[in-house]
């Protein structure tokens, strides 16, 4: 009886909705709360990013913003759930380099261009940090030491973007290295602090604590500048072309009305100006560096070209 | 001294106290509801702390942390359902105590042990953080692997009846731990195309299924006459703290809190391993080990003092090194970072007042947890008066909400029901469910560290025996295993059998 009532109501609603023209849809967007699917559990970088964005985005969009954590599969479950939603602009997700590495590992059924990328909002460089040792003191001596005896580099998870970046660094620097997979960034950082491995590629938020103190790690070089790591040299300045950074932004399943995408872009442009949001990003060690439109498409293409072949090579090993 | 007084002034603020109280209450509730964990309680509160100062925000989060771990004991005792993975061992003796009509005592004992464990853990954190942090960092692949082997021996202690059946259940857990992507190569194993299984079988759906759902199924079976119900539960006396029992358990408390703090401080080990180790140790030290598992108060004391001490322990590497010990502290660290406070060696050097303020807030959170529960246990015990036909559907509802709420995955809800069915049959045929959880936790720890070690040591397996900590742990495991087998052998009805002790020693 109740089930039938619900069915009838749902049918009525579908009819009412389908009579609206696409243009009317876009004009009325957003007519209900929007959902940000965070493909990781609460407390991580992507989660902090989405939750900090929540309030400024609510005032910019004029509707409620719901943050949902759909963790599992290193992001696979959340991204797949976001892609299963209707492309109506009411469901978005937080894209990171993980999209490229998940696709490259071949564990997911989606493709990189199944998403419409609306914005890249923050960036975080990758930093090569090493343990204190009398065998090396800077990047040159670390590379030289690796020629005599291969060094061990910890990576956070097989096929994670940190893993792929570590491989890319070793290739470009001519490092002889064995890659030791760990469960996560914190585990890998702890192993390096304990001297069980020679080095690890971290992000500024993890690296900032690990390089402090007397027994702390030495940051050799970073792929981009970070407010948290002021005195760390850049690979670029050392003559190595490594500039890829981790990023966070907003994406929707492909096929959303362009007018709705434009509405999203405007709302995000307003939201990122919010002083409290900016402060939270600084605290988290994320650099605000928003790009949209054609710049963003070029950025996604470039990152995809870097990550996909390297990840596919790891997957077929 | 001035610094401590400054910190005291920061904490002795009505708003901070209110923050701690609010956090503790929410933590208690979430810890007590099966499926909602400490990490989730903290994560839920983080957005609320955005506008607060660091001490008030941190006080609230630490309150939730303490409250959730202590709250997990309540359903573990009263319903045989651990509220969090850390309270699995509390069920082993706690629930039999309740069935024997000692619910009031059991609740009081768990509360007092939680408080003592929490405070001692906090004192360790305040006084000995740097050396403990150094010890924790010494844990590399060899040490973690040895810790896992040591943990496997515990299966003999937590098996309810036959050791052989306990081992079988443990093996099942170890087998289930192989599901998911290979930790070293990323190749998918037994995932059947299910993306939710890529990172392995979640501990939460397994735990809730094996303990909570199986309990509900058991109840249905009893009510429909499929199995015979146990003798009716004796009427509990009023909830109170049995100080005498507690005083007699001082040895158990001291050993368990040390184990809890140190294991809690090792990144990647976690509260459930600490409470299993302490329970096992308490049984080993006891003059009456046969009483464990039948409602022995020392079992409750060991598990609860250890798992609350892990809270203080887990804060050690987070605050001094910026490396979180487990999930809840990782979320806690996220909350601190958002506040603009960066945990790590620099925190103490640059913001010592804040550092001590956080420690004092943590100590205070334990006191608040104790006081609120002291009032609360009189209420909690009434859960036993709720008719089972109302209680069981409610438990099932909270299980589904809890498991779905964490990852938003319906698949994990089905997984939970599957584990419920498994747990029901395991209990029915005397295999027990605790060894499965232990196997699931230790399986991935041992596998990944064995293989990681072979990579780091370049295939030289003797390195596992050359590290002092790992050698000690492996030898202890061998000795304990030998002792268990020797004891069984003597109890066996064939007194004229060969008694060569070397034959009983485990290979390593």
State the Cα–Cα distance between residues B210 and B434, nearest whole angstrom: 8
Q: What is the pLDDT of residue B229?
A: 53
pLDDT of residue A17 exceeding 50, the answer is no
Token duo for residue B229 = 């119900």
Interchain CB distance below 8 Å, B186 and A279: no
If you measure CA to CA, which chain A residue comes closest to B192?
A: A107
pLDDT beyond 80 at B55: yes
Least confident of A287-296, B127-136, B381-390: B381-390
Cβ under 8 Å to B: A residues 107-126: 107-108
Q: Please state which of the ranges A66-70, B39-43, B236-240 shows the lowest mean pLDDT.
A: B236-240
d(CA B467, CA B490): 34
**How many inter-chain contacts (A to B, CB under 8 Å) are there?**
168
Average pLDDT score, chain B: 87
Tell me how far the alpha carbon of residue B323 is from its chain's centroid. Answer: 20
Residue A142, classified by CB atoms within 10 Å of its CB into exposed (0-12), middle (13-18) or buried (19+), is: buried
> Closest to B188 (Cβ–Cβ): which among A51, A81, A107?
A107
Asked whether the beta carbons of residue A43 and residue B322 sit closer than 8 angstroms, the reply is: no
A312 CB neighbour count, 10 Å cutoff: 14
| Residue range B390-409: mean pLDDT, rounded | 86
DSSP A87: S
Distance CA B358, CA B3 (A): 13
pLDDT band at A232 (very low <50, low <70, confident <90, very high): very high
User: Which residue has better confidence, A294 or A42?
Assistant: A294
Neighbours of B198 (CB within 10 A): 22
Cα(A119)–Cα(A113) distance, integer angstroms: 14
- pLDDT band at A16, cuts 50/70/90? very low
Instruction: Give the integer Cα–Cα distance in Å for A143 and A176.
Output: 8
Residue B42, token pair as written in the block: 């903290």
Nearest to B196 among A77, A282, A317 (CB): A77
CB contact (8 A) between residue B195 and residue A77 = yes
Q: Do A209 and B322 touch (CB under 8 A)?
A: yes
CA distance B158 to B292: 9
A43, A191, A216 ranked by CB distance to B345: nearest: A216
Say if the Cβ atoms of A196 and B141 lie within 8 Å: yes
Which pLDDT band, with edges at 50, 70 and 90, does A27 fall under? Answer: low
Identify which has the larger pLDDT, B332 or B34. B332
Whether B303 contacts B89, CB under 8 Å: yes
Angstrom distance (rounded) from CA B216 to CA B389: 10
Q: Do A54 and B183 touch (CB under 8 A)?
A: no
Integer Cα distance of A222 and A242 in angstroms:
8
Q: Has residue B35 got a pLDDT over 90?
A: no
pLDDT at B447 over 90: yes
Q: Which residue of A has its CA nearest to B141?
A: A196
* B43, B268, B338 member nearest A280 (Cβ): B338
State which of B74-83, B280-289, B361-370 shows the largest mean pLDDT.
Answer: B361-370
| Cα angle B368, B374, B378; round to 5 | 145
DSSP string for B414-446? HHHHHHHHHHHHHHHTT--SHHHHHHHHHHHHH
Domain ranges of chain B: 2-450, 467-508
CA pair distance B402, B390, nearest whole angstrom: 19
**A73 and B199: CB-CB below 8 Å?**
yes
Of the ranges A126-130, A141-145, A153-157, which one carries the lowest mean pLDDT score?
A: A153-157
Instruction: Give per-residue pLDDT as tens, A149-190.
Output: 999 999 988 888 999 999 999 999 999 999 999 988 888 999
In angstroms, rounded to a whole number, what is the distance separating the alpha carbons of residues B138 and B156? 28
Q: How many angstroms away from the CA of A73 is the closest CA of chain B?
A: 5
Max Cα-Cα span within chain B: 74
Find the closest chain A residue to B444 by CA distance: A183
Give me Rg for the CA atoms of chain A: 22
Residue B226 pLDDT grade (very low, low, confident, very high; cuts 50, 70, 90): low
Beta bridge partners of A152: A178
* pLDDT at B331 > cutoff 90: no
Query: How many CB atoms are closer than 10 A to CB B361?
Result: 28
Residues paired with residue A120 on neighbouring β-strands, in sequence order: A249, A291
Average pLDDT over residues A245-259: 95
* pLDDT tens figures, A82-95: 999 999 999 999 99
Cα(A131)–Cα(A118) distance, integer angstroms:
39
> Does the pLDDT value for residue A73 go beyond 70?
yes
Q: Which residues of B touch A206 (CB under 8 A)?
A: 322
Residue A287 banded pLDDT, cuts 50, 70, 90: very high
Mutation for B interface: A48, A64, A73, most B CBs within 10 A:
A73
Check whether A21 has a pLDDT greater than 70: no
- Determine whether the interchain pair A284/B409 forms a contact, defined as Cβ–Cβ distance below 8 Å: no
Average the pLDDT over B379-403 and give the result.
86
- Section B163-181 average pLDDT: 92
Residue among A194, A274, A311 with most chain B CBs within 10 A, to mutate: A194
Q: What is the pLDDT of residues A96-109, one digit of tens each?
A: 999 999 999 988 89
3-state helix, strand and coil shares in percent for chain B, rounded to the nearest 5: 75, 0, 25
Assess A284–B contact: CB distance below 8 Å, yes or no: yes
Residue A23: which pLDDT band, with cuts at 50, 70 and 90? low
Q: Which two tokens stand for residue A64?
A: 């409620």
CA dihedral B161, B164, B169, B173 (to 10 degrees): 130
- Which of chain A's residues have a Cβ under 8 Å away from the Cβ of B199? 72-74
Beta-sheet pairing, A34-38 with A91-93: parallel
CA distance A307 to A103: 10
Decide if A196 touches B, using CB distance below 8 A.
yes
Residue A112: pLDDT band with limits 50, 70, 90: very high
Give the residue from chain A lying closest to B467, CA to CA: A196
Using CA coordinates, name the residue in chain A closest to B411.
Answer: A77
Nearest to A283 among B44, B322, B337 (CB): B337
Q: Collect all residues of chain A within an 8 Å Cβ-Cβ radius of residue B343.
A: 209
CB contact under 8 A, A189 and B452: no
pLDDT band, residue B160 (cuts 50/70/90)? low
> Which pLDDT score, from 0 to 100, does residue B194 have?
86
- Judge: B407–A181 Cβ closer than 8 Å, yes or no: no
Candidate from A158, A186, A190 with C-beta closest to B185: A158
Average pLDDT on B276-295 reads: 90
What pLDDT, on the 0 to 100 scale, is given for residue A11?
46
Band (A268; pLDDT cuts 50, 70, 90): very high
DSSP secondary structure, A150-177, as one string: PEEEEEESTT-HHHHHHHHHHHHHT--E
pLDDT higher than 60, residue A20: no
Q: Coil, strand, or helix at residue B384? A: helix
Per-residue pLDDT band for B423 (boundaries 50, 70, 90) equals: very high
Cβ atoms of B340 and A283 within 8 Å: the answer is: yes
* More confident: B257 or A70: B257
Q: What is the pLDDT of residue B504?
A: 38
Q: Are B331 and B359 in contact (CB under 8 A)?
A: no
Task: Compute the distance between CA of residue B14 and CA of residue B20 in angstroms, rounded to an integer.
Answer: 10
Name the pLDDT band for B499 (thresholds 50, 70, 90): very low
Residue A12 has pLDDT above 90, yes or no: no
CB-nearest to B334 from A44, A152, A196 is A44
- When pLDDT is cut at 50, 70 and 90, the band that residue B506 belongs to is very low
Q: Where are the alpha helices (DSSP H) in chain A?
A: 2-18, 22-28, 45-61, 76-84, 98-105, 139-148, 161-173, 185-193, 204-210, 258-271, 275-284, 293-315
With a threshold of 0.90, tell me whether the complex ipTM lies above it: no
User: Could you tell me what percent of chain A has a pLDDT over 90?
Assistant: 70
B-chain residues within 8 Å CB-CB of A152?
A: 455-456
Q: Which domains are present in chain A?
A: 2-124+246-315 (3.40.190.150), 127-238 (3.40.190.10)
A72 to B407: CB separation less than 8 angstroms, yes or no:
yes
Note whether A48 contacts B324, CB cutoff 8 Å: no
Secondary structure (3-state) at A220: strand
Distance in angstroms (rounded) separating the CA atoms of residues A110 and B488:
56
B458: left (phi over 0), alpha (psi -120 to 50) or beta: left
The Cα angle at residue B273 between residues B270 and B279, in degrees rounded to 5: 135
Beta bridge partners of A229: A226
Q: What is the pTM of this model?
A: 0.87
B344 or B276, higher pLDDT = B276
The residue of chain B with its CA nearest to that of A206 is B322
**Does residue B254 have a pLDDT over 70?**
yes
Helices marked H in B322-409 — which ranges? Answer: 327-338, 345-350, 352-380, 388-407
| For chain A, percent of residues with pLDDT exceeding 70 | 91
- Which H or E run contains A119? strand A115-125
Read off the pLDDT of residues B98-141 as tens digits, 9 standing for 90 and up: 988 899 999 999 999 999 999 999 999 999 998 999 899 999 99
The distance between the two most distant Cα atoms of chain A, rounded to a whole number of Å, is: 78
The mean pLDDT value for B242-262 works out to: 93
Distance from CA of B362 to the nearest CA of A (A): 20
Q: Check pLDDT > 60 for residue A7.
A: no
CA-nearest of B213, B201, B159 to B176 is B201
pLDDT of residue B53: 82
* Predicted local confidence at residue A107, as pLDDT: 82
The reported pLDDT for the residue numbered B473 is 94
Given the structure tokens 């036909």, which residue do they identify?
Answer: B389
Helix (H) / strand (E) element for A180: namely strand A177-182
CA dihedral A279→B66→B40→B441, nearest 10 degrees, is 120
Q: What is the pLDDT of residue B347?
A: 84
Q: Which of B163, B277, B196, B210 is nearest to B421 (CA)?
A: B210
| pLDDT at residue number B452 | 95
Between chains, do B196 and A186 touch, taking CB under 8 Å as contact?
Answer: no
Residue B233: its pLDDT value, please?
A: 57
Residues of B in contact with A156 (CB under 8 A): none
Closest-CA residue to B403 (of B395, B392, B391, B412): B412
């Amino acid at each position: 009886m109740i089930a039938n009532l619900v069915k009838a109501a749902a049918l009525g609603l579908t009819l009412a909705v389908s009579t609206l023209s696409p243009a009317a849809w876009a004009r009325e967007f957003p007519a209900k709360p929007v959902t940000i699917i965070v493909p990781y559990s609460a407390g991580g970088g992507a989660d902090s990013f989405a939750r900090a964005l929540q309030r400024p985005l609510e005032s910019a969009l004029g509707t409620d913003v719901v943050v949902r954590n759909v963790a599992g599969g290193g992001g696979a479950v959340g991204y797949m759930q976001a892609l299963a939603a209707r492309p109506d602009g009411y469901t978005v997700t937080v894209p990171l380099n993980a999209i490229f590495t998940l696709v490259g590992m071949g564990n997911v059924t989606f493709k990189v261009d199944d998403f419409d990328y609306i914005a890249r909002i923050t960036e975080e460089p990758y930093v090569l940090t090493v343990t204190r040792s009398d065998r090396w003191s800077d990047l040159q001596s670390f590379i030289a030491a690796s020629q005599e005896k291969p060094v061990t580099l910890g990576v956070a998870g097989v096929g994670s973007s940190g893993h792929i970046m570590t491989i890319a660094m070793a290739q470009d620097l001519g490092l002889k290295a064995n890659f030791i997979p760990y469960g996560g960034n914190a585990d890998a950082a702890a192993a390096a602090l304990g001297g069980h491995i020679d080095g690890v590629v971290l992000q500024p938020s993890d690296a900032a604590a690990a390089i402090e103190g007397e027994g702390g790690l030495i940051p050799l070089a970073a792929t981009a500048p970070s407010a948290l790591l002021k005195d760390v040299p850049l690979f670029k300045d050392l003559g190595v072309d490594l500039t890829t950074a981790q990023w966070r932004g907003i994406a929707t399943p492909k096929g959303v009305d362009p007018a709705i995408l434009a509405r999203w872009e405007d709302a995000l442009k307003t939201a990122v100006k919010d002083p409290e949001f900016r402060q939270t990003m600084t605290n988290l060690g994320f650099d605000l560096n928003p790009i949209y439109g054609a710049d963003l498409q070029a950025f996604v293409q470039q990152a995809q070209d870097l990550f996909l072949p390297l990840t596919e090579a790891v997957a077929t090993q | 001294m001035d610094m401590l007084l400054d910190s005291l002034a920061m904490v002795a603020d009505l708003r901070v106290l209110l923050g701690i109280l609010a956090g503790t209450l929410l933590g208690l509730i979430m810890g007590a509801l099966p499926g909602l964990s400490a990490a989730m309680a903290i994560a839920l509160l983080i957005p609320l702390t955005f506008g607060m100062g660091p001490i008030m925000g941190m006080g609230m989060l630490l309150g939730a942390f303490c409250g959730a771990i202590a709250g997990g004991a309540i359903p573990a005792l009263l319903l045989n359902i651990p509220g969090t993975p850390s309270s699995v061992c509390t069920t082993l003796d706690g629930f039999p105590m309740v069935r024997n009509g000692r619910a009031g005592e059991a609740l009081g004992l768990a509360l007092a042990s939680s408080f003592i464990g929490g405070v001692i853990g906090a004192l360790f954190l305040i006084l000995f953080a740097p050396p403990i942090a150094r010890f924790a960092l010494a844990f590399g692949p060899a040490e973690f692997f040895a810790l896992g082997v040591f943990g496997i021996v515990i299966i003999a202690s937590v098996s309810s009846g036959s050791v052989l059946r306990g081992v079988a259940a443990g093996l099942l857990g170890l087998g289930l731990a192989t599901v998911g992507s290979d930790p070293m190569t990323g190749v998918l194993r037994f995932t059947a195309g299910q993306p939710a299984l890529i990172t392995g079988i979640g501990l939460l759906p397994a735990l809730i299924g094996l303990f909570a759902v199986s309990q509900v199924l058991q109840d249905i079976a009893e009510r429909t006459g499929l199995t015979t119900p146990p003798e009716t539960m004796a009427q509990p006396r009023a909830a109170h703290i049995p100080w005498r029992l507690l005083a007699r358990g001082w040895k158990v408390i001291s050993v368990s809190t040390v184990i809890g703090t140190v294991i809690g401080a090792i990144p990647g080990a976690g509260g459930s391993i600490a409470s299993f180790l302490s329970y096992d140790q308490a049984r080993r030290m006891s003059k009456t080990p046969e009483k464990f598992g039948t409602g022995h108060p020392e079992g409750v004391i060991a598990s609860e003092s250890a798992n609350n001490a892990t809270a203080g322990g887990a804060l050690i590497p987070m605050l001094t090194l910026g490396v979180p010990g487990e999930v809840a502290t990782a979320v806690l660290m996220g909350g601190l970072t958002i506040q603009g406070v960066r945990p790590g060696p620099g925190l103490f050097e640059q913001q010592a007042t804040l550092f001590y303020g956080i420690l004092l807030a943590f100590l205070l959170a334990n006191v608040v947890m104790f006081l609120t529960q002291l009032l609360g246990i009189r209420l909690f015990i009434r859960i036993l008066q709720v008719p089972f036909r109302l209680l069981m559907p409610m438990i099932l509802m909270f299980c589904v909400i809890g498991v779905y709420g964490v990852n938003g995955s319906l698949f994990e809800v089905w997984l939970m029901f599957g584990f419920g069915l498994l747990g029901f049959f395991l209990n029915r045929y005397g295999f027990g469910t605790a060894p499965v959880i232990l196997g699931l936790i230790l399986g991935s720890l041992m596998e990944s560290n064995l293989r990681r070690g072979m990579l780091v040591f370049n295939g030289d397996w003797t390195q596992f025996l050359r590290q002092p900590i790992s050698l000690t742990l492996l030898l202890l495991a061998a000795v304990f295993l030998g002792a268990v087998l020797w004891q069984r052998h003597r109890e066996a009805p064939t007194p004229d059998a060969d008694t060569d002790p070397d034959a009983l020693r485990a290979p390593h």
